[in-house]
Amino acid sequence: MEQPNTSEQAVLPLEGILVADFSRVLAGPLATMTLADLGARVIKVERPGSGDDTRNWGPPFSATGSTYFESVNRNKESLCLDLGDAGDRKLARELALRADVVVENFKAGAMARLGMGYEELSADNPSLVYASISGFGSAGGAGLPGYDFVVQAMGGLMSITGAADGEAMKAGVALVDVLTAKDAAIGILAALRSRSVHGRGALLEVNLLSSLQGALANQAQAFLGTGTVPGRLGNVHPSIAPYQLLRCADGPLAVACGNDSQFAAFCRVLGLPGLAAEPRFAGNPERVRNRGELVLLLEQALADAPAALWQERLTAAGVPAGRVAGIDEGLEFAESLGLEPTIEVHDSTGAAVGRQVRHPVSWTPPLPPRTQAPPSLGEHDAPLREWLSGKS
C-alpha cells in the first residue's frame, strides 16, 4: 500500500461550511469551536452590550478577558444582534438562511417565536443542518433550565462521584456540557455527510441529560442488567481491583491493574510475588470481593518508598501507574511526550495573545493551523452587517 506523504498539508475538512452560532455558555460554543478548528466559518451571534454569559464568568481573567469564555470560542467571528429588534432579527434570519449549520441553545420554542425555528428555516433552506441543544429535551423537560451542575445531580453522576462515606460530588469540570458538545459535533458531522449524499439537512436535538446517561456506560448497564443501583466508591473501581489510589510514603499513587498478568507484575515489583497466587487474590472477581484485605497488604508495601519511585518501577514493569498531578504537571507531561497539547493564538493583527489547549485530534497530513484568538464582543459587526444586508 502506498504510504501517505506526510510532508504535504491537508485541506481543512470543513472549509466552506458556514455555521450560525446562536449558542452561549459551554456545550454549544464548544461544539461550534470544534467545527471552527476543523475549518468551518463560525459566526457567533451575541447580545449587544453583554454578549455570551461567560464573558463575565470570573475570575480568573486573562489579559484579554474571561478564561472561561476564551476556552471555547477561538476561530470565531462575533456579531452583536438584538433579536428583539426587527431589523437585527432580519439580519439574524438572513445569516441562518445562508448557513450550512445552525446551532442554538435557547429555551424550547424561543427560536420558532423569532421566526428561526427549524421548520421555518428549512422551508427556505432544505439543506440546513439545525442542532438544538437543551438541558432536558423538548418534550416533558422543555421548561426545565439546563445547567451542567443540576444535570450532574439529577442524572445520577453525582450519586457515583465522591467518597463512599461522603456527600455526592460534582466532577471537577462541567463534564456534562463537554460530553454534550462532543455529541452535538458528532451529530452535525454525520448530518453533513448525510446531506452530501441525500441533499437534505436535518434537525438534531441534543440534551445534557441524554448525553450524561449515554456516558454512564458500565454504571448504567450495571443497574439495567442487575437492578442494583451503583453508589459512591471514591476512587475505587466497582468491578476491578486493584484499580484505585493507593497510599505510598509521601502520597497517593493511581494503580490500574486491568488483568491478572498486570496484577502479578505489580506484586513482583512490591516484593510480594506469592500474593498473586493466593486463592483470595488469584482472579479479579476474588480481588474485588477481598479488596479491603488486598489494599491493606499493598499499602503496607508501598509505604516503603515515595509515589514517584513506585511509578517509575511499575511503569518499567508494564503496570499502569501514575502520581496525582496538577493541571500544570499534566500539560508538562503531555509536552514531554511530544503531544503538543497547546497552541499559540493570535489577534486580528497577528500578534500572539496567549496559549490554549489545542483540538485533540492529530491529522496526517497535518491540517493547516487555525489560531485566531476568541473575538472581542462585536469585533466583526461592521463587515458582517454589510454582508448580510447585501451591501457587500
- In this predicted model, what pLDDT tens digit does every residue of 96-146 receive, in sequence order? 999 999 999 999 999 999 999 999 999 999 999 999 999 999 999 888 888
Contact 133, 101 (CB under 8 A): no
Residue 15 pLDDT greater than 80, yes or no: yes
* Among the listed residues 152, 3, 119, 24, the one whose alpha carbon sits nearest the alpha carbon of residue 76: 24
Maximum alpha-carbon separation in the chain: 81
Peptide bond into 365 cis (omega under 30): yes
Q: What mean pLDDT is reported for the chain?
A: 95
- pLDDT at position 392, please? 58
Q: Which pLDDT score is estimated for 146?
A: 86
Place of cell 509515589: 307
pLDDT for 8 equals: 63
Cβ neighbours of residue 56 under 8 Å, at least 6 residues apart? 50, 66
CA distances from 78 to 22, 51, 172, 175, 263 (A): 11, 9, 29, 26, 54
Q: What is the 3-state secondary structure (H, E, C) of the chain?
A: CCCCCCCCCCCCCCCCCEEEEECCCCHHHHHHHHHHHCCCEEEEEECCCCCCHHHHCCCCEECCEEHHHHCCCCCEEEEECCCCCHHHHHHHHHHHHHCCEEEECCCCCHHHHCCCCHHHHHHHCCCCEEEEEECCCCCCCCCCCCCHHHHHHHCCCHHHCCCCCCCCCCCCCCHHHHHHHHHHHHHHHHHHHHHHHHCCCEEEEEEHHHHHHHHCHHHHHHHHHHCCCCCCCCCCCCCCCCEEEEECCCCEEEEECCCHHHHHHHHHHCCCHHHHHCCCCCCHHHHHHCHHHHHHHHHHHHCCCCHHHHHHHHHHCCCCEEECCCHHHHHHHHHHCCCCCEEEEECCCCCEEEEEECCCCCCCCCCCCCCECCCCCCCCHHHHHHHHCCCC
Residue 329 has pLDDT above 50, yes or no: yes
Cβ neighbors of 329 (< 8 A, separation 6 or more) are: none
Does the pLDDT at position 1 exceed 80? no
| Percent above pLDDT 90 for the chain | 94
Question: What are the phi and psi torsion angles at 362 (to 5°)?
Answer: -100, 140
- Show which residues are catalytic: 177
Query: Mean pLDDT, to the nearest integer, of 348-370?
Result: 94
Mean pLDDT score, 37-54? 97
Residue 5 has pLDDT above 70, yes or no: no
Domains and CATH numbers, the chain: 18-216+341-388 (3.40.50.10540), 243-332 (3.30.1540.10)
> Residue 19's closest CA among 88, 73, 84?
73
Over the stretch 229-285, which tens digit does the pLDDT of each residue have? Answer: 999 999 999 999 999 999 999 999 999 999 999 999 999 999 999 999 999 999 999
pLDDT of 245 reads: 97
Assess whether pLDDT exceeds 90 at residue 216.
Answer: yes
Q: Average pLDDT of 21-42?
A: 98
Residue 145's pLDDT is 84
pLDDT tens per residue across span 76-102? 999 999 999 999 999 999 999 999 999
Residue 357 has pLDDT above 70, yes or no: yes
